[in-house]
Amino acid sequence: MASIELRFLGTGTSQGVPVVACTCSVCRSSDPRDARLRSSALLSVDGATVLIDAGPDLRQQLLRAGTDSIDAVVLTHEHMDHVSGIDDLRALNFHLQRHMDIFGNAATISSVRRMYHYAFAEQRYPGVPDLRLHEIVGDRVNAGGIDLEVITVLHGEMPVLGFRHGAVAYITDAKYITASELDRLRGLDVLVVNALRIKEHPTHFNLSEALAVIAEVAPRKAYLTHISHLMGTTADAAQLLPANVELAYDGQVIRVES
């Protein structure tokens, strides 16, 4: 029996909510659940913790969660809202006095190496992040001591990685999931899946597409993430959801024995 904890550090789409300069009712909402930093989560299993994605709000997210240790980082894909906070991992390098292992598919690893070229230079400037990049090959990986099943979904044309441990799975930035990968999402207690907004979108599930995936794989409970202000307020969107589905919110913690 493993004790699994998933903590949502951010549940917003690439622009976050509120959106800069927007005055819509969601962006002006006083409900704290409607303030969404860029999507990221901490997955802890029996005391080991991996960070799923390291977007532009990472520093603020780690401060807010009181995080002082991470065993590894797993990246879903190379888009900026998922990788542009990697430099802030150096705070944990200094605190933990060790390098940080970062896992992703080949495209993500090569783009991280390009973006953060100074961290991989022969002569490194003092104080740059100390990162070890690991390419995920195949459909399993051990990251930071946690065994993960790796599920590949499609974000438009781009393959994006989802991660499952036991009865908990986290999927973001999906627009399409093949039948064989859907089969690997059955038997879950908790499925996290992205739902951008009510209307369709070319590269992300909208609400009805996310609900169709949830109905298909039938987790005990599902949480929606990577949410845009166009979803409406958390309170209004709740009216549209089946009983076992809710909009995740920043800071939410889910615990499962699996």
- Min separation Cβ 14 and Zn ion, Å: 5
Q: Name the closest residue to Zn ion (Cβ).
A: 79
Q: Which is nearer to Zn ion, 58 or 256 (CB)?
A: 58
Cα–Cα dist 167/150, whole Å: 13
Q: Which is nearer to Zn ion, 4 or 225 (CB)?
A: 225
Q: Which is nearer to Zn ion, 7 or 82 (CB)?
A: 82
Q: Which is nearer to Zn ion, 159 or 187 (CB)?
A: 159
Cα–Cα dist 232/115, whole Å: 34
- Min separation Cβ 100 and Zn ion, Å: 21
Cα 195 to Cα 59, 60, 198, 213, distances in angstroms: 25, 23, 8, 11
Q: Which is nearer to Zn ion, 83 or 146 (CB)?
A: 83
- Min separation Cβ 181 and Zn ion, Å: 17
> Taking a C-beta distance cutoff of 8 angstroms, is the pair 70, 95 a contact?
no
**In this structure, what token pair is assigned to residue 77?**
């894909």
- Min separation Cβ 120 and Zn ion, Å: 23
- Min separation Cβ 115 and Zn ion, Å: 15
- How many CA atoms lie less than 13 Å away from 119 in the CB half-sphere? 21
Q: Which is nearer to Zn ion, 10 or 129 (CB)?
A: 10
Q: Which is nearer to Zn ion, 15 or 233 (CB)?
A: 15
Please report, as a single letter, which amino acid is at residue 5: E
- Min separation Cβ 49 and Zn ion, Å: 22
Strand order in the sheet with 72-74: 131-135, 100-104, 72-74, 48-52, 40-45, 3-10, 253-257
Candidates 31, 28, 38, 4; CA nearest to 226 is 38
- In eight-state DSSP terms, residue 253 is E
- Residues in contact with Zn ion by CB under 5 A are 79, 81, 173
Three-state DSSP class for 94?
helix
Please report, as a single letter, which amino acid is at residue 181: E
- Min separation Cβ 90 and Zn ion, Å: 23
- In eight-state DSSP terms, residue 206 is -
